[in-house]
Amino acid sequence: MVSSVGIIGAGQMGAGIAQVCAAIGKKVILCDIKQEFLDNGIGTITKNLERSVSKERINQDDMDNTLENVSTTLELNDLNNCDIIIEAIVENIEIKKKLFSDLGHICEEKTILASNTSSIPIGILAEASGRPTKVVGMHFMNPVPVMKLVEVIRAKSTNDDTFDTTFKLAEDLNKVPVLVNDFPGFVSNRILLPMLNEAMFCVMEGVAEPEAIDTVMKLGMSHPMGPLTLADFIGLDTCLAIMEVLHRDFNDNKYRPCPLLKEMVEQGKLGKKSGEGFYKY
């Protein structure tokens, strides 16, 4: 039974995961590298909860209780006693490996180490942790409070208790967990990202304007968001990181990242979070 959850990374995913865990009564400790990132994360959670109160989905007491369940820290050591830690930091394999190695040293033996990575094979993080049976993938979808799916990724080394506890936590969060085996990009991003990448090639080659491409996919295929709006929403740095993992790990040129995507990330155009991507925000 999970009662305490450590979340590392207070960005768009970490804040959302913290919110949904705190809302069902888990004690959450949210960790990031700068106070302003923690403040922004708490700001996002507060805004989401206020909207839910105004829509009478929850009452003021629910909101207060949820916020009371979230504490913040800049010290990784403060997470050492958590039942589970969910990592939601930048999609960079070396930075994540270092973090999993640190967590392996810091955490009590009972602590499950879960990663919300979009693409990096869980087995690599499991090995880095030095406690591979306790490592699992817990891949939430953005925006976390709204989207029902959680891919629960079982690495070869993940033991039954780690997998079952994580799967049950996703169910308790009122999500629909799906078992996925440990392949780069799992199911979701192996299918989704090549589509977003192809939409970027359409922009680069002048097939149509971004608005037109998004309209085709929204009205023609009933997607809730067009692929370029969705790429901006995910973050173009994250999209590029995912394509690079797919390209490298499958060693197949069909996953080559679109040069326009690379160029935009180099220019600091990261999508909604930086104020500009395929659209201006």
Which residues does the annotation mark as catalytic? 118, 139, 151, 189
Please, which residue, 207 or 281, has the CB nearer to ligand NAD?
Answer: 281
Residue list 114-133, contact with ligand NAD (CB under 6 A): 116-118
Judged by beta carbon distances under 5 to 8 A according to partner kind, the member of ligand NAD, ligand CAA, none in contact with residue 9 is: ligand NAD
Cα–Cα distance measured from residue 203 to residue 198, given in angstroms and rounded to the nearest whole number: 9
Provide the CA 248 distance to its chain's centre, in angstroms.
21
Label the pairing between strands 70-73 and 84-87: unpaired
Helix extents (H) in the chain: 12-23, 35-54, 60-68, 93-106, 122-129, 160-172, 188-204, 210-221, 227-234, 236-250, 259-266
Please, which residue, 83 or 232, has the CB nearer to ligand CAA?
Answer: 232
Look at residues 242, 238, 228, 237 and name the one whose alpha carbon lies nearest to residue 280. 228
> What's at 46, amino acid-wise?
T
Residues in Cβ contact with 163 at an 8 Å cutoff, skipping those fewer than 6 apart: 136, 152, 154
Please, which residue, 32 or 151, has the CB nearer to ligand CAA?
Answer: 151
Judged by beta carbon distances under 5 to 8 A according to partner kind, the member of ligand CAA, ligand NAD, none in contact with residue 225 is: ligand CAA
Judged by beta carbon distances under 5 to 8 A according to partner kind, the member of ligand CAA, ligand NAD, none in contact with residue 117 is: ligand NAD
What are the residues binding ligand CAA (CB under 6 A)? 48, 51, 55, 118, 141-143, 145-147, 188-189, 192, 224-225, 230, 234
Please, which residue, 32 or 182, has the CB nearer to ligand NAD?
Answer: 32
Q: 3-class DSSP state for residue 140?
A: strand
What is the contact surface with ligand NAD in residues (CB under 6 A)? 8-14, 31-33, 37, 88-91, 95, 99, 116-118, 140, 142, 234-235, 238, 273
